[in-house]
Amino acid sequence: MASAEDSGAAAQRDLVCVTGGSGFIGSWLVRLLLDRGYTVHATVKNLSTSITYPSLSLSLLCAPDETERDFSCSRRISPPLADDEGETKHLQALDGADTRLRLFQMDLLDPASVRPAIEGARGVFHLASPFILQVEDPENELLEPAVKGTLNVLHAVEDCGVDRVVLMSSQAAMLPNPDWPADKVIDEDCWADVELLKKVQFWYSVSKTLAEKAAWDFAAKEGLQMAVLNPGMVLGPMLTPSVNASLQLLLQFLAGEKLGLDDIYIGCVDVRDVAHSLLVMYENSSAQGRHLCLESIERLVDFTNRLADLYPEHPVHRIREDKQGWVVRANDPSKKLIGLGVCFTPFDKTIRDTVDCLRSKGLI
C-alpha cells in the first residue's frame, strides 16, 4: 500500500477540490483526504439522491477468438449494480464528511459550473473525464468533454490562484506506440500514437492522450504547477454503488470471455495505491511531470494465467498465443512514485480484495 509522510498542520487544513469525486478512484481519494484532515470540495455529475447508470459498451474489447480482433463485434453490457444509493450517498457516509466535505454538481463543458468548486481551494485533483468505450459521435461524446473539460478546469485553476494541480491521465495516453524501442521498458516518455488510435477507433485512449497534451501545453504557457498520474488497469475494492469499466472487465475475465486488450494492456494497479499516489504527488512539490502507476509491467497472458491460478473455480480463458512481444516485463516500472515513497500492493492481494468485494455485493 502506498504511503505519504505526514504533513504539518497547515497542509492538513488545506481545502482541495476533487473533480469526479464520486467515481471509483475519486471516492477512494476523497476518503483518504478526509482521513488526512483535508477539507474537500468534490464534484459530481448529479446531486440528486438517485441516478441511472448507463449500459457499459465493450464492443472494442470483444475478441471472437485468440488470433483475430473483430472490431465489428458489438456487445452491450449492463454493469451489475448494488442497491441504487445514488451518486453521493457513499461519499456523505465517509468519516469527516459531515463537517469537511462539500459536494458540487459540475458540467465539464460549462465554465460557470466548474468554477464554484475550485474557488478557495489550494489544490485541485482533476479526475473527471468521460469513460465510454463505444461511441457514435466521438467528438461530442468523448473528445470535447475530455479536452475542453480539462481546459475549463485549468482555466478556473488559474483564475482562482490554485497552488498545485494533480491531473489524472492514464496509461491509455502512452500506448500503443509503434516507434517505442522493442527492448526498452515502457516509461513516462512513451506517448500513444493518436493517429493509430483513431484508425482502430480507441476513442477513449484518443481522449486521454489529447486531454493530457492540452493540459501540458496550458501548464507550460501559464507556468502552472502540475503533475500527472498515468495508472494502468485499476482494480481493487469499490466504495461506489456500481462497478466501473475496469471492474466489469475483471468480471468478464472471470466469466471466461476473451477480450482483445493486446494493444493496450501492460499491467494493473490497486485503486488504493492510485489514491495514495495522487496524494503523495500533491504533497511533494518535487513530483513533476508524468508518473507511470503500475505494480508491475506484464503481458495479458501473465494476467489471465495468474487470475486463472487464483480462481480455478472460474472459467478464466488462458491465452495460448502471446501477442505482446513488444511489452518488456518489469517488476518496478513506477520508479518516480517509488522514489516518492509509494509502495505498491501485490497483485494477488489486489485481485483477492477485488473479488471479495464483488462477492460481498452479490456481483459474482
pLDDT digits (tens, 9 = 90+) for 26-81: 999 999 999 999 999 999 998 874 333 333 434 334 333 333 333 233 333 334 33
Structure confidence at residue 175 as a pLDDT band (50, 70, 90): very high
Choose among 60, 64, 75, 323: nearest CA to 201: 60
Structure confidence at residue 13 as a pLDDT band (50, 70, 90): low
Secondary structure E strands in the chain: 15-19, 39-44, 56-57, 76-77, 101-105, 123-126, 164-168, 226-231, 233-235, 268-270, 289-293
Q: Tell me which H or E stretch contains 249.
A: helix 245-254
Choose among 271, 261, 13: nearest CA to 127: 271
Concerning whether 148 is annotated as a catalytic residue, the answer is: no
The sign of the CA dihedral 191, 274, 166, 137 is: positive
End-to-end CA distance of the chain: 25
What's the rounded Cα separation, in Å, for the pair 99 and 34?
Answer: 10
**Active-site annotation holder among 45, 89, 208, 323:** 208
What's the rounded Cα separation, in Å, for the pair 317 and 252?
Answer: 10
What's the rounded Cα separation, in Å, for the pair 188 and 84?
Answer: 39
Share of the chain above pLDDT 70, in %: 86
Tens of pLDDT, residues 89-145: 999 999 999 999 999 999 999 999 999 999 999 999 999 998 876 788 999 999 999
Domains delineated in the chain: 9-360 (3.40.50.720)
The amino acid occupying position 137 is D
By mean pLDDT, which of 83-87, 96-100, 228-232 is the weakest? Answer: 83-87
The torsion angles phi and psi of 270, rounded to 5 degrees, stand at -75, 135
Q: Tell me which H or E stretch contains 351.
A: helix 347-360
What confidence score (pLDDT) does residue 151 get?
99
